Every structure is written in structure tokens, then in C-alpha cells.
Chain A
Amino acid sequence: MATASLPAHQQDHASSTNYLNCSRGFLSWACTLDHKRIGVMYLIGTMTAMFAGGALALILRAEHLTPQATLPGITHDLYNQLFTLHGAIMVFLFIIPSIPGALGNFILPIMLGAKDVAFPRMNLCSFYLWVGGLIFFLTALLTTGLDTGWTFYTPYSTNTSSTSVVTATLGAFILGFSSIFTGLNFIVTVHTMRPPGMTWFRMPLFLWALYSTAIIQVLATPVLGITLLLLAVERSFGLGIFDPKLGGDPVLYQHFFWFYSHPAVYIMILPAMGIISELISTFSRKPIFGYRFIAFSSMAIALLGFLVWGHHMFTSGQSEMVTVVFSVLTFSVSIPSAIKVFNWVATMYKGSILLATPMCYALSFIFLFTIGGLTGLFLGALATDIHLHDTYFVVAHFHYVMMGGTLVAFIGGVFYWWPKITGRMYNEFWGQVSSLIVFLSFNLTFFPQFILGSRGMPRRYFNYVPEYQTLHILSTIGSFLLGFGLALAAGVLIASLFSGRRAPANPWGSATLEWQCSSPPPLSNFEHTPSVGDPYDMNSVVWDAETESYVKQQSSGGHSHVASAH
């Protein structure tokens, strides 16, 4: 039914034209309404932000080689600005927009069997808002910097800090709207754009994850918007709501901030979990174990994520009763997370596992996310949190979840969908090597930080006592290896653009819809109406030696028709 309305020229040249070469020139990208091109622009943008944030992280780690000042020119104040910008760039410019903005935009409509997201203009607007936020952050960086930490806690941010708080705040405000637009688009697309046959429980789990994420984006991000607006006005005019000097309440600011920013943690991790569900099933060549449990656990995480924000404020002067309630609720989030991990492992059981690069990253994810999740329980427990709060233990914990979880899954997802996005296969061997380096060096970087934290090394400190030096050096060495591993992964991908062989439509044997269209996909995604079936029925695709691709098997059993073939 989709084909009936296509312009004739697209059908004529369907075999050769795709979304990459259908039009040329800067404006054809800058003004595009195609979700695939917007996704690619997001991919480039967020990856750049990631390497920028990573470079800042390496400076921070290098600084910690010795207990005192190590690098010339890095002063205490500059150190504060560097970790603030590292955090703010990674959170607002990379982790939150990366998977929904880049992979989600590219994959969601194709996976769903739709021609585009519901509001393509809003989608483009979302990308430009991201660019706008980036410009504000760069302005803050290049003027007086920012040293409040990415959390902008009052009253330091309103009364004391002499850096560009308002500029950075407005940047984050704009990025919030970018995130809202993406989420809003995804919810509407999933609700109204599903083709006939695509029922809710035939949706791949990545879509469930993106849908759950979008709910959080729509419900939580506006609160960040108003919080940052209040903060900017507070700082500029002295509104007084968060300023104790004027009768305001700084703890209230933390309620406002974490009402968004804790659910935002699930904006970061949920899409990553969705990617892992796809990868584990595809590369185990087995249907996902407990499909509905994973789908509902995504929704459960999205909703439970709203009930636990107070666990960031255990030591902030929050009242005892509320603290206890938030601590109890915090443990409830571990249940749906554990369900997911259990189901991924159960999916692999007795599967025929192929250790391709995406699968290597997926296995790293399961290991690292489990450590990150379990250490979160220590922090959710009131007594231990008093000891561990604001130490390197917290730093290690959220890096295991955010980096070992989200970033590793993002890279795995990029490797997985790279043939679809670019139409090129990358070098499998070096891809696997990169995943091994990332996995080992990640642990070398952050495991020592658990020990440092439990021994009392506070986070965000410029200097430290000499007895911590050995662990700090280990961590720093790990971080540089990690940087190398990620650069290698990027190199493998970029090299494939020049020398990679052409990707077949379905190199991995996945049964989800995006592998039924050619690689790269045509402008309107499907030349022929995709047949919607069970997304995890691995027996429905078989290897075809002639095209070096997996092909859809007709229910009769023959290779008669290939939906993706021309």
C-alpha cells in the first residue's frame, strides 16, 4: 500500500537510489525531513560530542596521576570547569540524545514499517535545537567556563559561581526541548503509524524501549525546563525561590532537579537495553526469552523511575521519613532491571551464539551493567550511602551504568546497524578487537574507583592523599586504553566507508523489519510492503549464499520471494 503513492521516478530507479544518494548538496541534508538523514546527522553530532567529552575526561584522569597538580596549566578552578563540562557534555549532548536521536530516529520508523516519523519537521527542529544547545554550551566553554557540576546546585550556582551559569542553563533548557520533541514524535509514531499487522506485541523490543523512553522524555523533561528557567531567573534577578538568603529553599531546587534528572537516567539506559534485546536475540539465533516480560519491564522502569529521585538527596537535608520511603522505592527499580538481565542470559542459553562485534559489545554490556546495577543497591541503602555519598564509588557506579551500559550498547548498536545505515560492512576482526580493548580497559579504569570510593576518596577533588595514588594511576592508564579502544572502534567504522564491501540487506539474520529493506534503505524505506511477522522468529530467515545475505523465507518454505530484493 505504501508503493501506490510513491512518485514514479523512485520506483523506476529503486534498485540504485537510496536515501544517501537520492539528492546531493549541503541543503539537501540541512533541510531534509527524512528521518534517516536526521538520524545520521544526530549520529555524527553525538559521536563528536562523545569524543569531545572523552577528551576532557582524559585530561581529568591525567591530572590525577599525582596527588598534587600534575599537568601544567590545570589549576583547581580549571579542574572544576573541566569535570563540569565533561559531565554536562556527556549527559546533555551525548547520552540523552545519542540512542533515541541517532539510532532511534534512523531505525524506529523502518522497524515499525512506517515511511517516516509522524512529524518530520518537528524531528528536524529537534536536531537544530540540539545544535542550538551545543552552541550555548560552547559559548559557556569559551567565555568564562562553568564550574557548578552538571547539576547546577543552588545556592552555589546562583550566588557564588562566577562562571557562565545562565548560558549553560539556557543551553540545557534548549536541549531539553530537543529531547521532548524526539520523544513526542516517537510516541505519536508508535501509536498512529503502525502498518496493518504490526500489533503492539509484534513490535521489536527496541521499539518498546524507545516508547518507554519517550514517555519519560515527555513527562520529565518539562520539569527540567522550568527548573533551569527558575535557576536562570534566580541568578539574574534574584527570584528568591531557591536562595536561602531571600527566604528560598535550596533543597527544593534538588527536588526540582532530580524529579527530571533521575528519570533521565532511565532515558539514558532504557534505549540501550532495547538495543541489547535485539543484539542478544539476533546473535544467539533464538527468539528472545520472555518477550512480554522485557516489554513490560521497560514500561515498569519508566514509571518506577519517577518514584525514586529522592535517593540523590539522602545527605542533602531531606527529611528522614521521605528518605526512608525513597530508599525503599529505589530497590523496586532493580526488579525490572534484573528481569531483563535474566531474560537476556536465558535467551543465550542453548542458542547458537555468533561472537560478531555487536554481540561482543552486548556481552560487555550485560557484564558491566550488572556490576553497575548491583553497586547501585549499596548507594540506595541509607546507612552505606552516608559513607559512600559523593565518593569515587558513586563515580564508578554511574560510569558502569552510563558508560559501561549506555555507551557500550550504543557502540554495539552502531556496529549492528552500520551496514544498514551506510551500506558497508566493516572489518569484523578489528571490530572484535576494539570491543575487547574497551571491555578490559573500562574495567581497569573504573573498578579501582570502587575501591578508591569505599576507602574515602571524594569525587570532584583536585588533590588527594598519596595513599590513593596507585589506584589512581591504574585508573588513568585504563582510561587512556579506553580512549584508544573507542578510537579504534571509530577507525574501524570510518575505514569501512572507504574500503568496506557492500552490505547485503540482511547480514545478521535478524527477522525485524529494517533488515527487509535494502542497505542503505530507499528514501521511503520500503519498495515493497514489508510482511509483518514475529520479530524474533529466527527460522523465518535463512542464509542465501548467492546474495550473501539472509533472506526472508516464505511460509511454504521456499526462497521464492525476497522482500528486499529488487
Chain B
Amino acid sequence: MSDSHDHHGFAHVMSPAVLLAVFAALIVFTVITVLIAGSSLIPPGFDIYVALTIATIKAALVVLFFMHMIHDKGLNAIMFVFSLVFVALFLGAAISDTEQYQHLIKDFGQANPDSMAK
């Protein structure tokens, strides 16, 4: 918001330099995430966390610059972040519940092998 000459009308105008820099960063992150997927650098089981971290960095770049959130009204940002909180709530509750009753399904499957799909 400091560079007032970038304000045109009632919204901020992104400069080409910022747009291109963000694009370049996104491409770099995409290449990185493809290259390190399946490599032995990452300990087993951690690949999803690495991939999601990179994806989140990319998403943040898109939201902040391509979607102008960094120059936008705080309200719009709050609304968007709010939605992520509710997604986390939904995700957390569903996973923590289903994980705890998986052993029941497994036991049932072993007791009744014909009842389960292949």
C-alpha cells in the first residue's frame, strides 16, 4: 500500500515485475516438487508433508499476489482464512474418528473374509 502511484482507482495494480517473479517462483517450486517426489532424500512417510508444504507455499504465492490479497481489504482475507479453519475442523474430526475404528473393520474383515471386497 506504500507505493501510492500503483493505486489506480480503488484497487491495487500489480506490477509486471511482481507477476513475473511470482510466476517464476511457482515454476521453480513445481519443478522441485516433481524432482524430489519418490527420491530417496525424503524419509519414507514424509513425502506427503514435503509435498504439501511446497503446495502450501505455492498456494500462498497465488493467493497473496495473483489474487491481490496482500493489497486487499482485511475482511476478504479473514473470510478466506475462516474457510480454511472450517476445512481443518472437518478434516481433523473425520480423520480422528475414522482412524479409531479402523481396527473394528479389520477385525470384522478377518472374521468374515467373504464379506469384504477384493
Interface of A toward B, CB cutoff 8 Å: 191, 219, 223, 245-247, 249, 251-252, 255-256, 259, 306-307, 309-310, 317-322
Q: Which residue of A lies closest to B118 (CB)?
A: A247
Write the B92-116 contact mask toward A (1 if CB under 8 angstroms, else 0). Answer: 0110111111001100000000001
Contact B100 A255 (CB under 8 A): no
Contact of B117 with A322 in the complex, beta carbons under 8 Å: no
Contact B98 A310 (CB under 8 A): no
Given the known interface contacts A247-B117, A252-B94, the answer about A322 and B83 at a Cβ–Cβ threshold of 8 Å is no
B41 in contact (CB, < 8 A): no
Whole-angstrom distance between the Cβ of A313 and the nearest chain B Cβ: 8
Interface of A is mostly: helix
Q: Answer yes or no: B89 CB below 8 A from chain A CBs.
A: yes
Q: Least Cβ distance of A541 to chain B in Å?
A: 34
Given the complex, which residues of A lie within 8 Å of B94, measured CB to CB? 252, 255-256
Given contact pairs A223-B90, A307-B89, A255 touches B117 in the complex (Cβ within 8 A)? no
Which chain B residues lie closer than 8 Å to A246 at the CB level?
117
Closest residue to A249 on the B side, CB-wise? B98
B104 / chain A contacts, CB cutoff of 8 Å: 317
B112 to chain A, nearest CB (A): 11
Bound: A256/B93 CA distance, A = 11
Q: Which residue of B lies closest to A248 (CB)?
A: B117
Chain B residues lying within 8 Å of A259, measured Cβ to Cβ, are 90
Chain B residues closer than 8 Å to A309, beta-carbon distance: 93
Report Cα–Cα, A246/B115, bound state, in Å.
10
Note all chain A residues with C-beta closer than 8 A to B97: 251, 255, 310, 318-319, 322
Q: A191-B75, A255-B93, A255-B94 are in contact. Are A322 and B100 (CB under 8 A)?
A: yes
Q: Given A219-B83, A306-B86, are A318 and B101 neighbors across the interface (CB < 8 Å)?
A: yes
Write the residues of chain B forming the contact surface with A, with a CB cutoff of 8 angstroms.
75, 82-83, 86, 89-90, 93-94, 96-101, 104-105, 116-117
Q: Is the CB of B86 within 8 A of A219?
A: yes
* Contact (Cβ within 8 A) B101 A251: yes
Query: Are B98 and A252 in touch, CB under 8 angstroms?
Result: yes
Bound-state CA distance A554–B99 (Å) is: 65
* B100 & A306 in contact (Cβ 8 Å cutoff): no
> What 10 pairs between A and B have smallest CB-CB spacing?
A319-B100, A322-B97, A255-B94, A319-B101, A319-B97, A219-B86, A259-B90, A246-B117, A247-B117, A318-B97
Give every chain A residue within 8 A of B96 (Cβ-Cβ): 319, 321-322
Q: Which residues of B contact A219 (CB under 8 A)?
A: 82-83, 86
Contacts A245-B117, A310-B93, A322-B93 given; indicate if A251 touches B98 (C-beta within 8 A): yes
Q: How far is the CB of A127 from chain B (nearest CB, A)?
A: 25
Shortest Cβ distance from A309 into B: residue: B93
A247 and B116 CA atoms in complex are apart in Å by: 7
A432 to B82, CA, bound (A): 45
18 of the cross-chain contacts (CB-CB < 8 Å) are A219-B82, A219-B83, A219-B86, A223-B90, A251-B101, A255-B94, A256-B94, A259-B90, A306-B86, A306-B89, A310-B97, A317-B101, A318-B97, A319-B97, A319-B101, A321-B96, A321-B100, A322-B93
Bound Cα distance A292, B90 (Å): 30
Question: Which chain B positions have C-beta within 8 A of A247?
Answer: 116-117
A255 to B96, CA, bound (A): 12
Expressed in whole angstroms, the minimum distance between the Cβ of B98 and any Cβ of chain A is: 6
Contacts of B117 in A (CB 8 A): 245-247
Give chain B nearest CB distance to A184 CB in angstroms. Answer: 11
CA distance A251 to B86 in the complex (A): 20
List chain B residues, Cβ under 8 A from A322.
Answer: 93, 96-97, 100
How far does the alpha carbon of A563 sit from the alpha carbon of B95 in the complex, in Å?
Answer: 58
List of B residues within 8 angstroms of A255 by Cβ: 90, 93-94, 97-98
What distance in Å separates the Cβ of A38 from its nearest Cβ neighbour in chain B? 25
Instruction: Give A246's nearest chain B residue, CB to CB.
Output: B117
Complex Cα distance A322/B100, Å? 9
CA A194 to CA B2, docked complex, whole Å: 29
Residues on the B chain within 8 Å of A249, using CB: 98, 105
Complex-state Cα separation, A255 to B82, whole angstroms: 20
Shortest Cβ distance from B99 into A: residue: A319
B residues near A245, Cβ cutoff 8 Å: 117
A219 vs B84: C-alpha distance when bound (angstroms): 10
CB of B105, distance to nearest CB on chain A (Å)? 8
Chain B residues whose CB sits within 8 angstroms of the CB of A256 once the complex forms: 94
Q: How far is the CA of A321 from the CA of B93 in the complex (A)?
A: 11
Chain B CB count within 10 A is highest, among A245, A252, A321, A322, for A322
Q: How far is the CA of A18 from the CA of B101 in the complex (A)?
A: 62
Residues from chain B with a CB closer than 8 A to the CB of A307 are 89
Which residues of B have CB within 8 Å of A320?
A: 100
The interface centre, meaning the residue of A191, A306, A319 with most chain B CB atoms within 10 A of its CB, is A319
Name the CB-closest residue of A to B94: A255
Say how far B5's CB is from chain A's closest CB, in angstroms. 27
- Residue of A whose beta carbon sits closest to that of B96: A322
Q: A191-B75, A319-B101, A321-B100 are in contact. List 15 more A-B contacts (CB 8 A).
A: A219-B86, A245-B117, A247-B117, A249-B105, A251-B98, A252-B94, A255-B94, A255-B97, A306-B89, A307-B89, A319-B96, A319-B97, A319-B99, A319-B100, A320-B100
CA distance A476 to B104 in the complex (A): 43
Inside 8 A of B83's CB, which chain A residues have their CB? 219
User: How far does the Cβ of A261 sit from chain B's closest Cβ, in whole Å?
Assistant: 13
In the bound complex, CA of A319 to CA of B104 (Å)? 10
Greatest chain A CB density within 10 A among B75, B82, B93 is at B93
